[in-house]
Amino acid sequence: MPIHAKCKLIKKEQLKNDIYKFIIEAPEIAKQAMPGQFLEIRVIDKIDPLLRRPISIHKIEGNNIEFIFQIKGKGTEILAERKEGEEIDILRTIRTRHIHI
């Protein structure tokens, strides 16, 4: 079942010139998610860029989720400009594999 949430960016750290670590407060998602799973992140509340960016979860601690990303284009460049305290629109979907016997 997909979870859609507006999550507060509580910590932003620039690790290198084009690599960032974000920690977001996302209690509903953190309860069910695991590192390695993907979050679908809407980088801005405008039409361009339209598509969400899939970014994998690095770590979960309590209600907080940490993810690390590299600027690769317009979308991740916009994401890197977000400020601590801002809300980020996150969609987490679970895709299950059906096993046929």
CA dihedral 93, 3, 39, 17 (to 10 degrees): 170
Q: Is the pLDDT of residue 101 over 70?
A: no
Q: How many CA atoms lie within 13 A of 17 on its CB side?
A: 1
Give the model confidence (pLDDT) of 5-20 as tens digits. Answer: 999 999 999 999 999 9
100 pLDDT band, cuts 50/70/90, is low
Q: Which residues pair with 87 in a beta bridge?
A: 8
Q: Which residues pair with 83 in a beta bridge?
A: none
Q: How high is the pLDDT of residue 24?
A: 98
93 pLDDT band, cuts 50/70/90, is confident
In terms of C-beta density within 10 A (0-12 exposed, 13-18 middle, 19 or more buried), how is residue 65 classed?
buried
Q: If you average pLDDT over every residue of the chain, what do you get?
A: 91
